[in-house]
Chain A
Amino acid sequence: MSYFPDSLRINLGIYIDRAIEWLMENFGGFFDAVSAGIIWFLRQIEIIMFFVPWWAVLIIVFLLTWKVINTKAAFVYTIMILLVGCFGLWESMVLTLAIVLSSVVFSMVIGIPLGILMAASNRFNAYTRPVLDAMQTMPSFVYLIPAVLLFSMGKVPAVFATLVYAIPPVMRLTDLGIRNVPREMIEAAHSFGSSSWQTLLKVQLPQALPTIMTGINQTIMMALSMVVVASMIGARGLGLDVLQAIQHLDVGQGFEAGICIVFLAIIIDRLTQSIGGKFKYPK
């Protein structure tokens, strides 16, 4: 086990570098356009979020939770959000939420149609599955490399890396939801002369909706778990606060930022799950 012949060494790295170079040379314009699009979208979300005053956020969280969960949860979650502000991390939270929200929206816009395609075509499904498996087992740091290569540093590669990391659940569960629609229901739709589009929109998607909502919930949670990693390529927010605390060995600051991420995770998870539950039909 002590040595391996040099003659068998393959330099894969060189080819990857070349492929990226080739991509940049030939499709640079495309990536610039994507980059501009992501920036624009992110900017809109940030504008909207910074426009809402802090007390309004508390009220919204309270009312929403009270409506979909219960009064007790409403008080707890409102206090959690209040604490984030008290820790002096309000702006970081908004920046983090903007990145998470953008990534999730892009994941849904890309992931749901791909999931539908996976359900419709067994061949596409067979090709996509191993890719999704690979994407989910790959350490999240790995996504930073192509993201930086394609979009350099900042928020855009952060959104891109988060998107790639968070997209598998929504794709998988859209596929699963549609495939689980009972065969007789599809036959019934066809027997009345529905077109494929009508069957999809009137039967398959509504039936799959609860499952798709679970997928969206998981996608959001994965996006949130990516914030610290994404901060390594220059995305500001709670992740960066944690990262800086680690670099400065500042346990206190690290704990504050860390617990804020946990608060956000709890609130978003419970809220989306409860909202998703509203889409279930009597069984």
Chain B
Amino acid sequence: MTVKLQVEGLTKIFGHNPRAMLEKIEQGLTKETILKEFGHTVGINKVSFTVNEAEIFVIMGLSGSGKSTLIRCLNLLNRPTAGKIKVDGEDIAKYDGKKLKAYRQHKVAMVFQHFGLFTHRKVIDNVAYGLEVRRVPPAERREMAQKVIDIVGLNGWEEMYPNELSGGMQQRVGLARALATDPEILLMDEPFSALDPLIRREMQQELLDIQARLKKTIIFISHDINEAFKLGDRVAIMKDGVIEQLGTPEEILAQPKNNYIKLFVQDIDRSKILQAKNIMVRPNALVSLKDGIKVAIKEMEQAGISSIFVLDQERRLQGLVTIDDAIKALKEHRQIRDILQHTYSTTSPEIYLNELIQIATETKYPIAVIDDEQKLLGIIARVTVLSNLV
């Protein structure tokens, strides 16, 4: 994993003399005091994090937490008061004039909450805007714009004006416009918040599909924890201008750092976040095909279970043996391979919990988690599925 973006001690203070306030922060004055006594607003305060290449990094927080201020620092729409922003190892925070223009024209693009579309330009000319600014010749930029229009599913809308489109379609234009310049970093400032819930879900899925193809480094702002956890490879939760907790959705869900985070996580629909691989456990009893019936019975006895999975030498799942069948087989001197059952359910590790609920209520046995080669990765007891929902 390559680090694409590294933010170190980033601080942004609004007011007429923000630099003077840095000292006050050093002295330990709070945000509120600085606002009341000196009339300066601390937007973000010494924020540090890294974003890996091709990762979706979600910054989530309520309004006023500083998330929008932060993302605007990353393309210098807000100029940081202090700190470093390293893109591919180069500090861009001090960029000016030509360098800043080149950075914005080639490396980074932004999608806005209220779309920020140019209402006087047709869809195609909106999408081609970044290329036009870069002085790409008209025929070439039209061709490039058409390509991204196909990607985001805007075919046939090219000659319309943005205000003739629905909200969801408008944000597609916003996304296409950002993708048209083929940026390495995509900044998305609450891009789906202004859309209604159905469209929002559709757009989230579409973003994931596009990301699977294009593999951009995406920094995504959201105030919706479900959205954050659905999209984010890693999530940073912000409050009052600082990051409260940073980690993968599973990490945050498993170990909320404090009560504030706990409150957030409460609202979460866990069944849409947790995947089979997050809740599966290593089976504490297994038998191999070449083992005898006696071994199987002993294993079950020791583990206190009434059924056991059977593997071959490459750990591929062969079947399941129940204690009743095993005892019967022992009397009749039969082999394990003769009494194998296949009535259990299997799942891949990427399946979400909400899809397992149905299976869990129907099956008698634990659910086996297997990979593409049929190798057993773990098992999920029925009770685990249901208990993880609460």
Q: Which residues of A are at the interface with B, using a C-beta cutoff of 8 A?
A: 182, 184-185, 187-195, 198, 202-203, 206-207, 209, 281-283
- At the interface, is chain A mostly helix, strand, loop or mixed? helix
**From B113, which residue of chain A is reached at the shortest CB distance?**
A184
Q: Is residue B181 within 8 Å, beta carbon to beta carbon, of the partner chain?
A: yes
Question: By the criterion CB–CB under 8 Å, are B109 and A191 in contact?
Answer: yes
**Given contacts A194-B133, A281-B161, is CB(A184)–CB(B116) below 8 Å?**
yes
Question: By the criterion CB–CB under 8 Å, are A184 and B133 in contact?
Answer: no
Q: Which of B72, B117, B181 contacts A192 (CB 8 A)?
A: B181
Question: By the criterion CB–CB under 8 Å, are A192 and B116 in contact?
Answer: no
**Given contacts A192-B181, A193-B104, A194-B133, is CB(A281)–CB(B77) below 8 Å?**
no
Instruction: Enumerate 17 A-B pairs (CB-CB under 8 Å) in ascending A order.
Output: A185-B118, A185-B119, A187-B112, A188-B116, A191-B104, A191-B108, A191-B110, A191-B187, A192-B129, A193-B102, A193-B134, A202-B129, A202-B133, A206-B120, A207-B119, A282-B161, A283-B119
Q: Which of B108-151 contact A (CB under 8 A)?
A: 108-110, 112-121, 129-130, 132-134
Which 4 A-B residue pairs are closest in the complex by CB-CB distance?
A: A193-B104, A193-B105, A188-B116, A184-B116
User: Interface 1/0s, chain B 171-203, versus A by CB < 8 A?
Assistant: 000000100010000010000000000000000
Of the four ranges (under 10, 10 to 19, 20 to 34, 35 or more), the interface on chain B belongs to 20 to 34
Question: By the criterion CB–CB under 8 Å, are B112 and A188 in contact?
Answer: yes
**From A188, which residue of chain B is reached at the shortest CB distance?**
B116
Q: Which of B104, B120, B177, B187 contacts A207 (CB 8 A)?
A: B120
Residues of B within 8 A of A187 (CB): 72, 77, 110, 112, 116
Q: Is residue B164 within 8 Å, beta carbon to beta carbon, of the partner chain?
A: yes
Q: Which of A182, A193, A203, A207 has the most CB of B within 10 A?
A: A193
Give Cα distance in the complex from A206 to B134, angstroms: 19
Residues of B within 8 A of A185 (CB): 116-119
**From A190, which residue of chain B is reached at the shortest CB distance?**
B77
**From A185, which residue of chain B is reached at the shortest CB distance?**
B116
Given contacts A185-B116, A188-B118, A193-B134, 12 further A-B contacts (CB under 8 A): A184-B115, A188-B110, A188-B117, A189-B129, A191-B108, A192-B130, A192-B133, A193-B103, A202-B129, A207-B118, A281-B163, A282-B161
Q: Which of B103, B108, B129 has the most CB of A within 10 A?
A: B129
**From B131, which residue of chain A is reached at the shortest CB distance?**
A192
How distant is A174 from chain B, measured CB to nearest CB, in Å? 16
